[in-house]
Amino acid sequence: MSLRIVVTVKYVPDATGDRHFADDLTLDREDVDGLLSELDEYAVEQALQIAEAADDAEVTVLTVGPEDAKDALRKALSMGADKAVHVEDDDLHGTDALGTSLVLAKAIEETGYDLVISGMASTDGTMGVVPALLAERLGVPQVTLLSQVSVEGGVVRGRRDGDSASEELEASLPAVVSVTDQSGEARYPSFKGIMAAKKKPVKSLDLDDLGIDADEVGLAGAWSAVDSATERPARTAGTIVKDEGEGGKQLAEFLAGQKFI
């Protein structure tokens, strides 16, 4: 029996670019390049490894985002995923984490799944909540923040390295997994992979297809509101000295002046 893996991937603005807020206090996507969230590459990698280890498996990558988000899907397909699902709808603009998880959960159910794999956090919102929200909404176990993961005989096992302890976890499929960037380097798409990706199916869904009302999502449907966003004033230029043999002592003097010593 085939193992159906759905990987959630987010299209995010390049963190090294200048990110801004638009007038409606959502992310201004106009003048920043987007890409597949780097942390989701680790999720794609683990999905591909699990699929390779299984007798028969299929990896679907799923994104919720604007037209350009197809770029993120293409990247994942060129890494080796089999097919893609793109949820795209003008009414999605400004959706919060709860709304995003609602849309993702419906699209995952629509696609059919045994295992969902997500990144530990996006590189823009960086909330790190969507995988837990998906588990809650889908009513399946969450096996999250794994630095090591394996699937065998309908059971997922993994290691979660937390603040105070390292835990070995286990759950039966279906389940939602999220992986950290300690889970293993993500592969680069090969030329062959890039060419093959062009022929792989990308299915588009909108809110109607998922039976979601426009007022459940978007800026109006968000249960949190941003009232203001101010650019942090540039730090006032600090003192910079060149070490001529007394650099450590000078630094100590500064720290003493600030009452740290």
Partner 1 sequence: MAEVLVFVDHVDGAVRKPTLELLTLARRIGDPVAVAVGAGASATADVLAEHGAVRVLVSEAAEFADYLVVPKVDALQAAHQAVSPAAVLVSSSAEGKEIAARLAVRVGSGIITDAVDVEAGAEGVVATQSVFAASFTTKSRITHGTPVITVKPNSAPVEPVAGAGAVEELAVEFSAAATGTKVLSRTPRESTGRPELTEAAIVVSGGRGVNGAENFAIIEALADSLGAAVGASRAAVDAGWYPHTNQVGQTGKSVSPQLYIANGISGAIQHRAGMQTSKTIVAVNKDAEAPIFDLVDYGVVGDLFAVVPQLTEEINTRKG
Ligand X SMILES: Cc1cc2nc3c(=O)[nH]c(=O)nc-3n(C[C@H](O)[C@H](O)[C@@H](O)COP(=O)(O)OP(=O)(O)OC[C@H]3O[C@@H](n4cnc5c(N)ncnc54)[C@H](O)[C@@H]3O)c2cc1C
Which residues from 3-32 bind ligand X, rule CB under 6 A? 8-10, 27
Alpha-helical runs (H) found in 17-148: 38-53, 70-79, 97-111, 130-138
Q: Evaluate the omega torsion of the peptide bond into residue 174 and state whether it is cis, within 30 degrees of 0.
A: yes
User: Any contact of residue 22 with partner 1 (CB under 8 A)?
Assistant: no
Number of residues that bind ligand X (CB under 6 A): 32
What CA–CA distance (Å, rounded) separates 33 from 81? 23
Footprint (CB under 6 A) of ligand X, residues 25-64: 27, 37-40, 43, 63-64
- Site map (CB under 6 A) of ligand X, residues 102-131, x = contact: --x-------------xx-xx-xxxxxxxx
Report the partner that residue 60 touches, choosing among partner 1, ligand X, none (CB closer than 5 to 8 A by kind). none
DSSP secondary structure, 8-20, as one string: E--EEE-TTS--E
Q: Which two tokens stand for residue 85?
A: 């699902």
Mask for 77-96, x = binds partner 1 (CB under 8 A): -------------------x
- Rounded CA-CA distance 129/121 in Å is 7
Binding piece for ligand X, criterion CB under 6 A, among 76-84, 89-97, 155-163, 209-217: 89-97
Residues contacting 38, CB < 8 A, separation 6+: 123, 181
What is the Cα–Cα distance from 103 to 95, expressed in whole angstroms?
10
Q: Is 215 in the site for partner 1 (CB under 8 A)?
A: no
Here's the x/- map for ligand X, 201-230, by CB under 6 A: it reads as -----------------------x------
Instruction: Determine which residue in the list 136, 206, 209, 216 makes contact with partner 1, applying CB under 8 A.
Output: 136
